Structure 1
Amino acid sequence: MFRSGLRLFCLAALLAVAPAARAAAPDPWPGLVQDIFNSREIKDGTGIIALQMPARAEDAAIVPVTLRALLPPTDPRHVKAITLVIDQNPAPMAARFVLGADAAVSEISTRVRVNNYTDVHAVAELSDGNLYMVKTYVKASGGCSAPTAKNADESKTRIGQLRFRQFSGASDAKAGNGPVSRTRDAQVMIGHPNNSGLQMDQVTQLYIPAFFIDTIKITQDDALVLSMEGGISISEDPNIRFTYASNGARQIRVEAKDTEGHIFQGEWKAETPGM
């Protein structure tokens, strides 16, 4: 009777301690600030940048994320870069987006892998050199090790396939103190397995080496619209939708490079703003 009661007491004690132990798990963010941002001061980004992700992901391998620049047209500053950090992922820095100085990029959407329940931070660097941060919490697990949706043969045939879409509709935008221009919505899609290095070949039971798109650059004529430095957290078949200000360019150019040095390029006629 005593031993049975003791076992129950010990079990109850363990169950009581377990939530506290989970709550006391170390927060990786301070270390990430040191590693990614060289311990620079990061201020509250409310009203400057917004980060939108689902609280609970339907598929941890393709979690939608949207970043928005919120500076009003009267603000003389502009957003130079946005870094997306998924704290608990094996490679936490998911992507760094550099925004063209005159492109007035106001929104960027893509899809990412989320490996564990985690905070996700978006850090904006403004033209005055200051950093501003917002965060959200996402419940998902296993996204970095989830098998690819397509088989190996299909993956090989689609590697480097570039598609570009322009969406109808336009609105007025202003980049810093520059003139008002017409904004456009567009989307770049790249066929690529974007292997994370944590996925297992279901036939050989061996890990598939990491192989992913690491840079994307989008220009209108020779002017930068947006560039991305990405890692293993970007989902299979990288997909970026963005809103930008047209400069009247005739051509939209996209260049992407993967970790094996392959370069993929495409060029499309730019729609006339206001069409």
Structure 2
Amino acid sequence: MTKALITCGQNPSVYFLEKWLPQYEFIYGDASFIAQIPSIQQIILPQVSQADYIHQVLNICLDNQIDAVFPMSFSEQELLAEATELFSEFNIQLHLPDLITRKLLSNPAEVLQKLNFSGIKTVPFRVTSSFGEFSKACLQLGYPTENIAVAAVENPDLVWLINDLYKTASLGGKPVISFTKAAKLFAANEMLLLRTFRPSTQKLMYASFTGEKLTSVWNLGAIISKETIKQIGTALQLNGLFEICFQEHQLFNLKPFAVV
């Protein structure tokens, strides 16, 4: 069994990895003692802000015969992505996207375009840079019948919904704004990504890739085939753990899995 370090051990959301990836013997790490974990199964980790964070984590792995690392925060993933070659020299696998893939994933519009080019079905989407384009794109995507999800290309996790029919402040966990108020979004954002949004049809699943190859899927379900997930990994050259959101059989969003 491969011994693996998983960070953010204080966060209960990381514990499901034991069920998802039973081939690993997990050691939990965090910056302070984890009360709910036996001391033999945990390691105190340095703060990400420390200048020698990478080398401290490497030494911890070497001292404890750890062969794999699952960074569970975006800040850890961003920093350790610079050290994949260093860790590989010691036969330690970092389960995270490399720098090139991280740059691609930071632009969800480019991800959707690349997947479409590879023959993978995605939700209908448009990228706009002016209110004139925005108005036209909303109509092309089916507004007002369809809910339209709007996000800044540079900040894809902050999503608004355009819908004049709903009187509630949110729908499917997303804040709702009217079409007339949508113009204000351009005050702070040069480019926007628009996607059709059907929350009742959305399904989250989690996939693990090693060197672009799919190694495991959690919560696959019946609508999406494992072959589709494999094709996504190959098209985007994925490595690490990913959260993938589908609407029916179409991909809506993909991002590295992290708990903080």
User: TM tier, shorter chain?
Assistant: under 0.3
Larger radius of gyration, structure 1 or 2? 1
Q: Which has the higher strand share?
A: 1
